[in-house]
Chain A
Amino acid sequence: QKEVEQNSGPLSVPEGAIASLNCTYSDRGSQSFFWYRQYSGKSPELIMFIYSNGDKEDGRFTAQLNKASQYVSLLIRDSQPSDSATYLCAVPNFGNEKLTFGTGTRLTIIP
């Protein structure tokens, strides 16, 4: 099992709809989780982080964490064409002293 797994997509969502991105992880000891957005040809940009079980909302973005099931998700409400990007999930791996990134989900918002 990969340490961090994401559906590579592409995921196509109509403009104005909710985009749902999922990430599963293998290290049960992980305490913090990060979502990055990466536009083509650009560097990853941190958009959300979550430490506690449950939901965390920031504008149109909601991160959901379920430690028992070892998954973290990102919801984007009222999707806009500018949300079209690759979304990376990242989870600390304390055994290897690193932040492990998923390979990313490519999201396309269709006008």
Chain B
Amino acid sequence: DAGITQSPRHKVTETGTPVTLRCHQTENHRYMYWYRQDPGHGLRLIHYSYGVKDTDKGEVSDGYSVSRSKTEDFLLTLESATSSQTSVYFCAISPWGLEYEQYFGPGTRLTVT
């Protein structure tokens, strides 16, 4: 998985609780991305980062926040989890940016009950 790990790999949480997912890379790539994947919707971008402390919103960012204090770590936080956020979350990294290839982590399966 191109030197990318995600934690936790599986999580079950209750509606209204905060949840933080972690993406860690050992490739020293500048760009990092968070996606969610749902049946019928494919992969959708939540947030992305183009450097330490540089982040921006994707197409489905409502209810999510991110932080990147180190090159290797990109955190995704669900401030107050809802059932609609039940999904599989993938982190991806890219060495050069949007028009270049992205490499995906193993994913986190999140269930909000």
Contact = CB atoms under 8 A, between A and B. Distances in A.
Contacts of A103: 40-42
Contacts of B1: 43
A34 B101 contact: yes
A45 B107 CA distance: 12
A44 B101 contact: no
A44 B56 CA distance: 23
A98 B45 contact: yes
Contacts of B33: 99
A61 interface: no
Contacts, number: 50
Interface size class of B (residues with CB under 8 A): 20 to 34
Interface in B6-48: 33, 40-45, 48
Interface stretch (A52-60, A63-71, A73-81, A89-97): A89-97
A97 B98 contact: yes
Given A43-B106, A44-B90, A97-B56, A32 B99 contact: yes
Closest 7 CB pairs of A and B: A103-B42, A101-B43, A43-B104, A92-B99, A98-B45, A32-B99, A101-B42
19 contacts: A42-B106, A43-B107, A44-B90, A45-B104, A46-B101, A46-B103, A88-B42, A90-B102, A92-B99, A94-B98, A97-B48, A98-B48, A98-B58, A98-B59, A98-B98, A99-B98, A101-B43, A102-B42, A103-B41
Interface of A: 31-32, 34, 36, 42-46, 49, 88, 90, 92, 94, 96-99, 101-104
